[in-house]
Structure 1
Amino acid sequence: MVREANVKAFKSEKALVESNMKVDGLQTEVAALKALVITSTPSKPNRHLHPQLDRKRSADRRSGSSAPGSPAKERLVEGAEEVDVKEKYIDPVLRAEYMQWKKLPNLEPGNPFLSRVFAEDIDPCLEFTNKELGARVKEAVIQNTLCLDPVKDDEDLPRNCSLFEQPRRCSHRLTFGDADKQSHYISHLARNRIAAVCDFLTYCRYVTQGLVKAHCNEVYWEIMLRRRNMAIARLGFLN
């Protein structure tokens, strides 16, 4: 009888403890729900109550875009390498010029948006010691007639860059279309600077041809990414 009483007492104490734990858990859940309801406002919605916001945020991260004027922290993947991107803010003057250009996109450097990009990015990126050859390179890049080819591994690499006119290991050669077969050997740095400008103009060319089917915000940040790449290439950080 004593043993049965002890077993019943043990079961009763165990049930009491479990009940108290359930009560504590329910109280915690109620408090959390109250906090969710209180802190969720139209200007600052709580993402637990609005899961579509998280889906939108994930989509923006994949596309590399963000809402106008709002900072966004993300990681952009270039090839197999992840690149940290700090908070981004839209320049209102630049965006106004971009939106005006986006209404009727073209590659004429006279419009305010492209004129700014040429002055701030393209011209400095294509400024070389050999002024004459540099001018030909710039014209060919704009006309999309420039050819860049890597030097074959079995060739002896030249040691003088035609653009910088300095002793440099030349990994690439450039030619000006099919009409001109003359090759000019250039260093990897010169190649990176030219390639970054070509990438920018090629993307803008796709936009003008209607091949880019994306929201204007996404296009804006894609263009800004290519401007960033031109600045990095000019400073010698791209491989």
Structure 2
Amino acid sequence: MKAIDLMTPRVITIGPEETIAEAARKMLANNISGMPVVDAAGKVVGIISEGDLLRRVELGTERHRSWWLGLVSGGTVPAEDFIKSHARRVADVMTSHVVTVDENATPDEVVRVMETRRIKRVPVVSRGALVGIVSRANLLRALASVSPETPAAALDDRVLKERVAAAVKELSWDSRSHDAIVVRNGAVQLWGFVSSESQRDALRVAAEGVPGVKAVENNIQVVDPAESGAWGL
């Protein structure tokens, strides 16, 4: 799966010379919270979102900075605030440092961009031209559409125990993190000690992910190693 498979190909865009009012109308009419700003050649030059339109003089919501901040910033911050709240063109209020992904980017690359940049959507380009956009909703739709795996054939409990043991061993934070694994008719019981709830849950998730496991009973206890003689108990 690639970005081109995840993206929404029909992208609502706006030009940099269009007005703030038109940007607001487009977002409302299409029920979107942001859109790419595209020039005449189809190149993405910015992104404009609801957040860019919150501090507006028309609404009486323009930002009022303290006088000392203007001094220490050399007047830069107040000037930027003034432009954001008073400008009429999209080009003046949009976020111009745009991050895009290529159409062949993997889902992992797309998510990494979203996480590192703390953004909700990322434009998809092909040879520099906009071809779509991937949002968090697109990723959720892809997740929801993944077909469930074909149920695994019933395994002998002994074989299943070996596979569960191999799976949880990869997460072992201590030799006693899983003292015993019991498997009866496909149902797994985990026993042992770990130092945190997240470790306990991770071992359960690892066991649940083994094909053929019907249920997991997590009896692993959370114990502070410092209070238990480093697992000596």
Could you say whether these structures have the same fold, taking a TM-score greater than 0.5 normalized by the shorter chain as the test? no
Q: Which has the higher contact order (CA 8 A, sep 6+)?
A: 2
Q: Which has the larger radius of gyration?
A: 1
Q: Normalized per residue, which structure has more helix?
A: 1
Interval containing the TM-score (normalised by the shorter chain): under 0.3
Return the TM-score normalized by structure 2: 0.21
